[in-house]
Amino acid sequence: MKMVRQVLVLDAADVASESRFWAGVFDGVVVDDDPDFHCVLDAQQQWILGVQRSERHTPPVWPDGDPQQQMHLDLHVEDLAAAHAAVTTLGARLVQAAIDPSADEGFQVYLDPAGHPFCVGWGHPSDASIREHTAHIYATSARVGSARAAEAGRDSVTS
């Protein structure tokens, strides 16, 4: 399956407020042609989030309440203080501060206006180091995938 885009869709009772918040976080814009579904585009004009109306949306109670969170976003930043100021100005609420904001690596947990948890982290590996570290995984998985495809092809010919 070839993906052309991956978009995470969040439920919210107030679609406009939720989409404005995330557009602000990603320095982007909201496409609001439909009152029940908004698209959030980032600064590069890539569609990265959707927000759909859910009148009965119940925010999760973080971290172990009822209802429990089902997923959350991790945002990796260079400057925690600047990111904290930006997301709280936009309406986020800090629910778990970093143990040591001066540490080389860490995270803080926030809730967006609709109550969805998200993390702001810093000091995590760069994309290049992650690619270097995981190159062998992709090479192995490509070989396994090719072998499975070849085997499936043989099976369909012999069946």
Q: Considering the chain, what is the average pLDDT of its residues?
A: 84
Q: Residue 93 is which amino acid?
A: R
For strand 37-41 and strand 29-34, is the pairing parallel, antiparallel, or unpaired? antiparallel
For 134, the token pair is: 């995981």
Reference 89, options 28, 29, 25; nearest CA is 25
Q: Classify each residue of 143-152 as buried b or exposed e, where b means 16 or more C-beta atoms within 10 Å of its C-beta.
A: eeeeeeeeee
pTM of the model: 0.70
For 17, the token pair is: 């407020």
Least confident range from 14-23, 28-37, 67-76, 93-102: namely 67-76
Reference 47, options 30, 34, 35; nearest CA is 30
Length of the chain: 159
Is 153 or 81 the better-scoring residue by pLDDT? Answer: 81
| CATH for the stretch 1-56 | 2.60.40.4320
Q: What does the pLDDT average to over 68-80?
A: 84
Max CA distance (Å), the chain: 64
Is residue 21 predicted with pLDDT exceeding 90?
yes
> What pLDDT shows up at residue 57?
87
HSE of 33 in the Cβ direction (CA atoms, 13 Å)? 2
Domain boundaries, the chain: 1-56, 58-124, 130-159
Residue 150: pLDDT band (50, 70, 90) is low
> What pLDDT shows up at residue 135?
76
Which CATH code of 1.10.260.40, 3.10.180.10, 3.40.640.10, 3.90.79.10 fits the domain covering 58-124?
3.10.180.10
Is 97 or 126 the better-scoring residue by pLDDT? Answer: 97
Residue 77: pLDDT band (50, 70, 90) is very high
